[in-house]
Structure 1
Amino acid sequence: MARAGKRKDSATSLSRGFGLLAALGVLLVLAGLVGLVYTAVATLTSMLLFGWLLLTGGVVGLAHAVQARGTSYFWLGVIVAALNIAAGVVVIHLPHATAAALTMFAALLFLTAGIFRLAGGLVVRGPQLGWTLLLGAFDLLLGILVLGSWPSSSQYVIGAFFSLALLFDGLGLVAAGYGGRRVVGLVSGKGGSKPVQP
């Protein structure tokens, strides 16, 4: 009986944990949907968050470097921490300029990826030629659209990507939480139907 009680308690705690995971997923989905509606705010928020993460990482890295003084790691740690702190300060003070630079970089990445996919697909002509050409054309078109409306596109591109990432991560967490609770319910239900061995 004690073993059955422990099994039930562990199943309850597992089910509660998966429920919290699903609730977090719902929050991320809502945040992603709000970000897709207000992409300019999402862009500014993601830039500020990125800047503070760089700044915090730089301060923590500097503290670790100071603790490791006297070793060969010290100066490398100080340089990397200083770069992170400087980049964080720049991003926090100039979020719109940072978004414009990152948008330009993303557009160039899309253009490059699209050209290489199209050229590689036409040269290799593998079994997935259709998908390769479709993805290449999509990347190329996306890069041209973003670059063609730059710098005004920098107000919404980063925010849209950030919001889509939140949305899909949230959907994944909701699916994992719901599926986990269902599995725990099935397993605990089967376990409860068996007679308990003395």
Structure 2
Amino acid sequence: MEDKKADIFNCGKKLFSSKGFKDTNVSNIAKMAGIAVGTFYNYYSSKEKLFIEIYLKENEKLKKSIMESVDMDNDPIKVVKEAIAINLNGMHSNPILKEWYNRDLFSKLEKEFYEEGGIESIYELTNSSIAELIRKWKTEKKIRDDLDDEFILSLFNSVPYIEIHKEEIGIHHFPQIIDYLVEFIMKGLTDFRK
């Protein structure tokens, strides 16, 4: 049974990557997996549920690659800016993760995303590593220690939410806005004159 579920997952991933969410349907996935459409529904209640599971796995891989590729011993401003840049690049270069920017699709999948624990999954994956990094930087006197760790973590977690609203903010300014916001946050955290 697990092999069939893995086949469905892998075929869905291939089709979502090549055709996109909108142009992929359950019958395409079932045909590629060599199963009946009804069998698909034994494992996933909808195309959306499968997509969210694939999306979360792809996002997990991206977050792990960021943690492995960024030198956490560098200056905190450089570390955070580099991590944000790698994340944005990864989101734009992965066809599944790129669907996050498809406003029509995301509004349709947002409910599923939250119901499936998407935001908790992302935070669980990254928050423990970031919290550890915050404690390390405080110990090394690289960032202010007068601010609560949870508050600092919330500052970092706010950046992706801003990204969701880039159209309202102004898409032509968006990459610079993220870069400056991260810089301003980090400069505030590393300014010891407070």
TM-score past 0.5 threshold: no
With CA pairs under 8 Å and 6+ residues apart, which has the higher RCO, 1 or 2?
A: 1
Q: TM-score range by the shorter chain?
A: under 0.3
Higher helix share: 1
Structure number with bigger Rg: 1
The two structures have a TM-score, normalised by structure 2, of 0.23
The two structures have a TM-score, normalised by structure 1, of 0.23
